[in-house]
Amino acid sequence: MAERSYRQICALARSLDIVGDRWSMLIVRNLLLGPQRWSELIDALPGVARNLLSERLRQLERDGVLTHEGDHYQLTAAGAALERPLFALAEWAEQNAPRGPQEGYRFRLRYLMTSMRRTLPPTRREGWLQLIVDGAAYAVRLGREPTVVQGHHAAGLTVTCTSHSLLALRFQGASATALRESGALGVEGDASLLEAWVEAWRGSDAAQSS
């Protein structure tokens, strides 16, 4: 039971008892792609006080949303089930409270990869891509149930780039061919997977971040 409660016989109120505090849903967002260390979480949540992050992590663990071993935190099955409502909130914001990049706002690669997980539509082409972005590994699955997860996965294509190149590819209409020729995009494997991934990601109607 959360320490603070609305004390209402209402499922929505109960859910907010657990994840309604500031930072709680963003902690969940950051763990959707896979486990993170405490140091990675504090870096990915600029503005959160260290003691407040620790408090939120303890609360979420008490309520069965996440678990930890040492300094590695990961979602439980109940925590992972928050993906759909969390993404629904992001989609609501895009439709009803759109906002472009603002001065002083921070970017993290994980925000972009979580957005890709949310917006990547089903594709006829199936297969895995391995992305190495700024040295960080993420795997993308194309097909009827697309997804993005952190780490390495056996893949038919490996793409190596910087976050700057990835942003240019997605939001600035940069040509994958031009990026390859300039050396900004390293491609090894089945190039048809690259075409299918870029076409699907660019074709999504979602905005830039989750």
Residue 37 phi/psi, 5° resolution?
-80, 160
Q: Which domain holds residue 144?
A: 103-203
Residue 8 gets the label, from left (phi > 0), alpha (psi -120 to 50) or beta, of: beta
Structure tokens at 73: 């935190």
Digit-coded pLDDT (tens) for 181-209: 999 999 999 999 999 999 999 986 433 34
Digit-coded pLDDT (tens) for 151-165: 999 999 999 999 999
Q: Please tell me the number of Cα atoms within 13 Å of 95 on its side-chain side.
A: 7
Digit-coded pLDDT (tens) for 5-54: 899 999 999 999 999 999 999 999 999 999 999 999 999 999 999 999 99
118/197 same-domain check: yes
Q: Please tell me the number of Cα atoms within 13 Å of 64 on its side-chain side.
A: 6
CATH of the domain at 137: 3.30.1050.10
72/110 same-domain check: no
What's the one-letter identity of residue 55? E
Flag whether pLDDT at 210 surpasses 80.
no
Q: Considering only CA atoms, which of 70, 69, 59 is closest in space to residue 27? A: 59
pLDDT of residue 105: 83
145/189 same-domain check: yes
136/50 same-domain check: no
Digit-coded pLDDT (tens) for 77-114: 999 999 999 999 999 998 998 776 677 788 899 999 99
CA–CA dist 99, 3 (Å, integer)? 33
Asked whether residue 108 is domain-assigned, the answer is yes
63/121 same-domain check: no
Number of domains the chain contains = 2
Q: What percent of the chain has pLDDT over 90?
A: 85
118/31 same-domain check: no
In angstroms and rounded to an integer, the radius of gyration of the C-alpha atoms of the chain is 18
Q: Average pLDDT in the 137-156 region?
A: 97
CA–CA dist 120, 199 (Å, integer)? 10
pLDDT of residue 150: 97
Q: Model pTM greater than 0.85?
A: yes
CATH of the domain at 72: 1.10.10.10
